[in-house]
Structure formats: C-alpha cells, structure tokens
Amino acid sequence: MPTKTTPSQPRVTFFTPEKVRALLEVITNGSGDELLTLHELKVTGCHPFSNSTRIRKIHKNEYPEPIKISQQMCLFKAGDIRRWRKDPIAFKKTNAKKGAI
C-alpha cells in the first residue's frame, strides 16, 4: 500500500532582533545597491502596505518598483527604499518626471 505524503509546509524564516537591526542598517546607511526581498522589508517595517496597496502605489509611482528576478521573485533596491522613506512626496514627483521622459 502506498504511503501518504503530505504537502510540504512553507518555509518560515524568523528574524532575530540582530538580523532586523542589520537589515535596517543596510537600508539606512548601505551603498544603496543592496537588494532586499519583500519579506525583509515587511520585517523591518519599511513596507507598511498590503499587497494590493503596494501594487497600486507602484503603478502610481508612489513606491519603488521592484526588480523582477523570476516569475515568483522580485527584489527592491535599498537605495530606492531609502529615498522613499525620507520623503514619499518627493519620491513620487521624481518618479513622475522619469516616467514622463
């Protein structure tokens, strides 16, 4: 008789306070070229939106656009997140000018 297999559970990664501080240090003081996952941004509090709000804000140039790595993976540049955190209004105006060119 065949054995029953159970679907694999999604991997849950836990971030220690030290890891969260290190990620915030990268976002705040890094070179800006570092790439971060959406999960890392959510853990640090740099992404306070639901998925639908994030998508809407990206389309309206109100939030940094991710870099698509594959169909299921996208990464955000730390420098873009830093600019958005400093001044979301100025970020929108800067990105609106880029789209108009």
Q: In sequence order, what DSSP letters do the residues of 46-74 get, joined into one string?
A: S--S-HHHHHHHHHTTSSPPPEE-SSS-E
| pTM summary value | 0.77
54 versus 11: which is more confidently predicted? 54
Q: Give me the pLDDT at residue 37, please.
A: 93
Across the chain, where does the E strand assignment appear?
35-37, 67-68, 74-77
Per-residue model confidence as pLDDT tens digits over 23-76? 999 999 999 999 999 999 999 988 888 999 999 999 999 999 999 999 989 999
The reported pLDDT for the residue numbered 48 is 87
At residue 100, the pLDDT reads 46
Length of the chain: 101
